[in-house]
C-alpha cells in the first residue's frame, strides 16, 4: 500500500476542507463567547407564553442595558446576551420581566466582567502556546537518538496546527448555522485535540524510529510508508472504533450542553489520526528529500 505517493493530493484535500471555514473566520471574526469578551448571558423560561425577542430587547433598553441580543432555543428558552450585569441590574431585569411577561425562571445566568474576559483570552493563548512548546521539546528529546530529531517535533506541530485549523474552521461554520461560540469549553476541547494529535503522530514516529535501525537499507520514503502501514490498523481501531464510538454515543445521546464540545472532539480527534498519517509523516519525507526545491519547476512531482 503506497500512502505516501499521493501526499500532495492529501495536502490539497486538507487545504480544501480547512479553507472555507477560515475564510468565514477572516470575514466575520472569531465567534468569541462572553468567557473571553466579557458580558452576560441570561437563559430564562416562562410559565406563560414566551415573549417576542423584540419586547425583551425593549425591556433591556428601558433598563439602560446595552448590546442586548435575544435568541430562542429548541427547548423553548430565551437566551439573552448583553453587556456585563451586576446583581442589581440583573434583579432589575428580572423584576421587570416578571411584571411584563409573567413568572420567569432562571435556567442559567453567566456574567463575566470585562477585565476577566481579557485575561482569559491572553492566558488561553498562552496555555495553547506553552503546551505545544513543551510537547515539541519532549518529542525532540525523546527522538534524540535519530537523525534530525527536531524535525519530528516540528512535523508533529504542523499536523497539530492542521487539526487546530480544522476545528476552528468547523466551529466557524457552526457559528453561522448553529450559533456556536468559542467558550472555555471549546478551549478544553482544543487542548485535548492537541494532546491526542501528538499522541497519534508519536505512535507513527515511534515506528519510524524503530524501523530506521532495523530497516536501515530502505530509502527514507519507503521506510516511512512501511511504518505508516504497520501502524494503520492500530490507528483505525483506536480512533475510529473506540474513541469515536464513545464520542458518537455522547453526541447522539448526551445532553445538549455538551454537543458542541463533543463535535469539536469528534472532528478534532479524527483529524488527529488523519493528520498523523497524511500530514506529519509526509512532511518528514518532503523535508528529508528537500522537495521544495522542485516545487516551482515544470512538471512538479505531484
Partner 1 sequence: MIKRQNTRLVVIVIVIAFALWIDLNDTLLISNPFNGSVIYSRDVSPQLGLDLRGGLQVLLEADLPEDVDVSAESMEVARSVIENRTNALGVAENVVQIAGDRRIVGEFPGLKDTEGVINTIQQTGLLEFVDVGDTPMAAGTIIQTDYGLSPSAAETTPAEGEEAPIVYHTVMAGAALEDVGVTQDTLGQFQIAFALNSEGSDVFAEHTIANSGKFLAIVLDKEVISAPRINEPITGGSGVISGQFDYESANALTVQLRYGSLPVPLKIVESRIIGPTLGEDSLQRSLKAGLIGIIIVVLFMAIYYRLPGITADISILFYAAIAFAVFKGIGVTLTLPGIAGFMLSTGSALDANILVFERLKEELRRGRTLKQAFDMAWSRAWSSIRDSNAAVLITSLILFWFGNAFGASIVKGFAITLALGVSISLFSALYITRTLLAVVLDKIKITNFQRWFGI
Q: Sign of the CA dihedral 27, 173, 111, 61? A: positive
CB closer to partner 1 out of 212 and 230: 230
Rounded to the nearest whole angstrom, what is the least distance from the CB of residue 124 to partner 1 in the complex?
A: 7
Alpha carbon distances (Å) from 289 to 5, 59, 157, 219, 298:
13, 66, 19, 10, 18
- Looking at 51-59, 219-227, 236-244, 277-285, which segment touches partner 1 (CB under 8 A)? 236-244
Tell me the C-alpha distance between 65 and 56, whole Å: 11
**266-295 as b/e, with b when 16 or more CB fall inside 10 Å?**
bbbbbbbbbbbbbbbbbbbbbbbeeeeeee
Site string for partner 1, 243-262 (x = CB under 8 A): x-xxxxxx-xxxxxxx--xx
Which residue from 119, 122, 294, 301 is in contact with partner 1, where contact means CB under 8 A? Answer: 119
By CB under 8 A, is residue 149 in contact with partner 1? no
274 binds partner 1 (CB under 8 A): no
Q: Find the shortest distance in angstroms from Cβ 159 to partner 1.
A: 12
Question: Quick one: which of 198, 228, 281, 285 contacts partner 1 (CB under 8 A)?
Answer: 198
Is 279 an interacting residue with respect to partner 1 (CB under 8 A)?
Answer: no
Residue of 124, 182, 283, 286 interacting with partner 1 (CB under 8 A): 124
Interface positions, 53-112, toward partner 1 (CB under 8 A) = 86-87, 91, 105-112
Distance CA 67, CA 61 (A): 9
Applying CB under 8 A, which part among 25-33, 48-56, 126-134, 216-224 lies near partner 1? Answer: 126-134
Min CB(254)–partner 1 separation in Å:
4
Rg, the chain, Cα only: 24
| Minimum CB distance to partner 1, residue 226 (Å) | 12
Nearer to partner 1, 26 or 214 (CB): 214
Assess 163 for contact with partner 1 (CB under 8 A). Answer: no
Q: What are the Cα distances from residue 259, in Å, to 106, 107, 255, 276?
A: 21, 18, 7, 26
How far apart, in Å, are the Cα atoms of 294 and each of 9, 138, 174, 285? 16, 32, 39, 14
Single out the segment in contact with partner 1 by CB under 8 A; choices: 19-27, 128-136, 170-178, 287-295.
128-136
Instruction: Choose which of 138, 140, 161, 173 interacts with partner 1 (CB under 8 A).
Output: 138
Q: CA-CA distance, 288 to 218, in Å (whole number)?
A: 14
Give the binding site for partner 1 (CB under 8 A). 43, 86-87, 91, 105-113, 115-116, 119-120, 123-124, 127, 130-131, 134-135, 138-139, 142, 184-185, 187-188, 191-192, 194-196, 198-200, 202-203, 206-207, 209-210, 230-231, 233-234, 237-238, 241-243, 245-250, 252-258, 261-262, 265
Amino acid at each position: 500500500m503506497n500512502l505516501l505517493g499521493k501526499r500532495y493530493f492529501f495536502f490539497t484535500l486538507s487545504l480544501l476542507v480547512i479553507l472555507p471555514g477560515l475564510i468565514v473566520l477572516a470575514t466575520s471574526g472569531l465567534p468569541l463567547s462572553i468567557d473571553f469578551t466579557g458580558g452576560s448571558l441570561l437563559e430564562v423560561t416562562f410559565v406563560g407564553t414566551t415573549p417576542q425577542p423584540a419586547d425583551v430587547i425593549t425591556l433591556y433598553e428601558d433598563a439602560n442595558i446595552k448590546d442586548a441580543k435575544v435568541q430562542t432555543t429548541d427547548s423553548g428558552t430565551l437566551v439573552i446576551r448583553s453587556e456585563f450585569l451586576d446583581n442589581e441590574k440583573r434583579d432589575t431585569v428580572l423584576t421587570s420581566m416578571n411584571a411584563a411577561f409573567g413568572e420567569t425562571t432562571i435556567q442559567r445566568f453567566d456574567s463575566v466582567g470585562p477585565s476577566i474576559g481579557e485575561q482569559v483570552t491572553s492566558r488561553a493563548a498562552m496555555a495553547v502556546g506553552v503546551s505545544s512548546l513543551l510537547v515539541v521539546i519532549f518529542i525532540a528529546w525523546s527522538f534524540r537518538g535519530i537523525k534530525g530529531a527536531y524535525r519530528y517535533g516540528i512535523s508533529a506541530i504542523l499536523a497539530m496546527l492542521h487539526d487546530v485549523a480544522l476545528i476552528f474552521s468547523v466551529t466557524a461554520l457552526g457559528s453561522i448555522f448553529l450559533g456556536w461560540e468559542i467558550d472555555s469549553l471549546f478551549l478544553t476541547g482544543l487542548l485535548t485535540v492537541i494532546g491526542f494529535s501528538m499522541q497519534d503522530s508519536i505512535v507513527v514516529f515511534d515506528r519510524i524510529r524503530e524501523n530506521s535501525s532495523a530497516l536501515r537499507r530502505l530509502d527514507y520514503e519507503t521506510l516511512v510508508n512501511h511504518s505508516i502501514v504497520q501502524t494503520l490498523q492500530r490507528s483505525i481501531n483506536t480512533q475510529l472504533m473506540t474513541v469515536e464510538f464513545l464520542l458518537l454515543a455522547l453526541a447522539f445521546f448526551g445532553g445538549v450542553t455538551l454537543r458542541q464540545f463533543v463535535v469539536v472532539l469528534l472532528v478534532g480527534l479524527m483529524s488527529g489520526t488523519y493528520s498523523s498519517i497524511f500530514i506529519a509523516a509526509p512532511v518528514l519525507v518532503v523535508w528529508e528529500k528537500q522537495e521544495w526545491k522542485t516545487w516551482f519547476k515544470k512538471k512538479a512531482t505531484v
